[in-house]
Structure 1
Amino acid sequence: MTDTWMIIKSLAESLSSLSDYPPEQVMLGQALKLAEESGEVAEAVIGVLGMNPRKGRSHTLEQVHAEACDAAVTALILIARTGADPEAVFTRHLRYLSGRHLTGG
Structure 2
Amino acid sequence: MTDTWKTINSLASNLSSRSQLPIEQQWLVQVVKLQEECGEVAEAAIGALGENPRKGFSHSWDDVRSEACDVIVTGMVLLARMGGDPEWFFREHLRTLAARPTNQPKEA
Q: Please classify the TM superposition score into its range, dividing by the shorter chain length.
A: over 0.9
- Whole-angstrom distance in 2 between the partners of 1:84 and 1:50: 43
Paired residue for 2:89?
A: 89
Change (3 A) 1:64 1:18: same
> Which deviations, in whole Å up to 9, do the C-alpha atoms of 1:44-69 show, x marking residues without a partner?
00011111111111101111111011
- List structure 1 runs of 4+ shifted beyond 4 angstroms: none
Instruction: Note the aligned Cα RMSD (angstroms).
Output: 1.3
- State the AA in 2 paired with 1:100: R
Tell me how far 1:85 sits from its aligned partner. Answer: 2.1
> Which deviations, in whole Å up to 9, do the C-alpha atoms of 1:10-37 show, x marking residues without a partner?
0000000101110110011000000000
Structure 2's unaligned 5+ residue stretches are: 104-108
- Whole-angstrom distance in 2 between the partners of 1:76 and 1:67: 14
Of 46-55 and 30-39, the range deviating more from structure 2: 46-55
Paired residue for 1:67?
A: 67
- Whole-angstrom distance in 1 between the partners of 2:35 and 2:57: 23
- Whole-angstrom distance in 2 between the partners of 1:89 and 1:64: 27
If you compute each CA radius of gyration, which structure gives the higher value, 1 or 2?
2
Q: Judge conservation of contact 1:77–1:86 (CA < 8 Å) in 2.
A: no
- Whole-angstrom distance in 1 between the partners of 2:98 and 2:17: 35
- State the AA in 2 paired with 1:92: E
Identity %: 57
Tell me how far 1:87 sits from its aligned partner. Answer: 1.3
Paired residue for 1:35?
A: 35
Q: Judge conservation of contact 1:13–1:81 (CA < 8 Å) in 2.
A: yes
Tell me how far 1:101 sits from its aligned partner. Answer: 2.4
